[in-house]
Amino acid sequence: MKSFEVPIIYRSPLISAIKKKRKEKDKMKKDFTPTLLDFGPVQIYLARHFGFCYGVENAIEIAFRTVDENPGKRIFLLSEMIHNPQVNEDLQSHGVQFLQDTYGKELIPFSEITGDDIVLIPAFGTTLEIEKKLQAKGIQTEKYNTTCPFVEKVWNRSEVIAKKNYTIVIHGKPTHEETRATFSHAAAGAPAIVVKDMSEAKKLAAYITGERNADEFYTDFKNQYSENFDVRKDLQRIGVVNQTTMLASDTQAIADYLKQIITQQYQPAITEERFADTRDTLCYATNDNQTAVTGMLSTEADLAIVVGGYNSSNTSHLVELCEEKIPTYFINNEDKIISANKILHYNFHTHKEILTANYLPAKPPIKILITSGASCPDAIVESVIKKITGFYPVVTSIDELIVQFEKAD
C-alpha cells in the first residue's frame, strides 16, 4: 500500500516501530491481539490497528503539499479536512480558511471566492451541487480533491446498482458531511434514503411490507429521502451502502435485516433481483480498527482510553464498543489527563465533557487498553502514554521500548 508524506509532528517513533514490527509479523492481518507495553507499575495494551488510515494520510499529504506549493494564494477548505482538532488547527495556522462548518453552514460566503482561489475538498467528499458551484467559478476541484478513495468506492457502487434500478439505502448519520456527499451522489442516479440505525431500518421495513401508511413515510423520514421519492414504488428493489465510519457490524445487520424483509415480501427465489449485494462497500480501515478493539477487549484490564476528535464518527463507535465491556474514557489529547486522580473526558451520548476522579485504580500493576480513531495522529497517542506513565516510577522507558521493537525478531 502506498505510503504518504505527512508532517513529522504527527508521527510517533514508538508507535511507528510497533506498527512496523506488527506488520512484518502479521502481513495478512489475522492477529488482532493488542501489543503489550510493560512499564512495570502500569501496563498498556495498544490495539492492533488504530490511528491514521489511508484516506486520512492521503488528505493530509495533499493539503500540506498544496500549502507549500502555493505561497501567497488564498486557500480554502470546504469544511474540516478530517475530524481532528489538531490537524484542522494546523492547517488554519498555515493560512487555510474554512468555508463551512461541519454541518454545512457557511462561514465565508461562496460569493467571495474567485477562480484564482484554491478550494480543497475534504476527505469526506462533497455534494455534486457544491462541486458544480465551485466549477462554475472556474475552480479546479479535481486537482485539490482529497476525498477518501473508499468513500468514492461507495459512490461508484451506488452508481452501478442505480443503473440496475435499485433504490439506494444509505446507513449513516443524516447530518454528517460524508453522508450528505454520498446521498448527493446516490440521488443523482436513483431514489435514495438515509437510515441512521436499526430502529429506522425497521421503520423503513414497515413501508416495504405495507404495514405502515405510505403517506406517513414523508414525515418519518423528513429530509432523509431524495426528491420525488415514491414510497409505493421505490422500495421494491433496494441496495444498502454505508457511511464508511459507521460500525461495520451495524451496516451488515441492517443489510441482512432488510434482505430478510424483501425475501419475506417476495418469493425467495427472486431475492437477488430485489436486493443488491453491496458488502464490498464496507471500509477496510473502519473494519480493521473495530475488529482490533474487539480483540483488545479480550484482554483483562482496568479501563480503556480512546483518543480522537469528539466529532469523529469512527472514533465514537470505538468508544461505543469499549463501553460495553469496560470503564472507558474518550479524550482528544493528553491535556485531558489532568492528574493521576482526575480526567476530563467526553460523553458522546450527551455531547458534554465530564470530570471524573479516581479513574486509575490504586493498586498496581494498572492495566489500560488504548486505541484511537482513524483521524488521530500517532504522536497524540504517544503523548497520552507519556502522560500516564509519568505518574509512576516506571522500570522501562519509552526510548528503551523503541529499541526493543526495532531489534525484535
Query: What DSSP string describes 205-239?
Result: HHHHHT-S-GGGHHHHTTTSB-TT--TTTTTSSEE
Using one digit for the tens of pLDDT, what is the confidence trace for 16-73?
A: 999 999 999 999 889 999 999 999 999 999 999 999 999 999 999 999 999 999 999 9
pTM here is 0.91
Task: Please check the confidence at residue 169 and state whether its pLDDT lies above 70.
Answer: yes
Greatest Cα-to-Cα distance within the chain, rounded to the nearest angstrom: 68
Query: Which positions are annotated as active-site residues?
Result: 178
Q: What is the mean pLDDT of residues 157-180?
A: 94
CB burial readout 59-79, b (16+ within 10 A) else e? bbbbbbebbeeeeeeebbbbb
Distance (Å, whole) CA 78 – CA 108: 10
DSSP 302: S
More confident residue, 281 or 276: 276
What is the share, in percent, of the chain residues with pLDDT greater than 70? 99
Distance (Å, whole) CA 87 – CA 9: 10
Query: In Å, how far from its chain's centre is CA 216?
Result: 32
Res 45: pLDDT: 98
Pull the grid cell for residue 330.
Answer: 474518550
Query: In Å, how far from its chain's centre is CA 233?
Result: 33
Distance (Å, whole) CA 349 – CA 323: 12
Res 4: pLDDT: 84
- At 80, the pLDDT band (50, 70, 90 cuts) reads confident
Res 278: pLDDT: 83
Task: Determine the 3-state secondary structure of 357 from DSSP.
Answer: strand
Q: Spell out the domains of the chain, with CATH numbers in brackets.
A: 8-53+285-407 (3.40.1010.20), 54-136 (3.40.50.11270), 149-281 (3.40.1010.20)
CB burial readout 181-208, b (16+ within 10 A) else e? bbbbbbbbbbbbbbbbbeebbebbbebb
Task: Please check the confidence at residue 409 and state whether its pLDDT lies above 80.
Answer: no
Res 83: pLDDT: 86
Q: What is the mean pLDDT of residues 337-343?
A: 97
DSSP 403: H
Using one digit for the tens of pLDDT, what is the confidence trace for 379-398?
A: 999 999 999 999 999 999 99
Task: Determine the 3-state secondary structure of 77 from DSSP.
Answer: strand
Using one digit for the tens of pLDDT, what is the confidence trace for 225-262?
A: 999 999 999 999 999 999 988 888 899 999 999 999 99
Task: Give residues with Cβ within 8 angstroms of 215, minimum separation 6.
Answer: none
Query: In Å, how far from its chain's centre is CA 149?
Result: 13
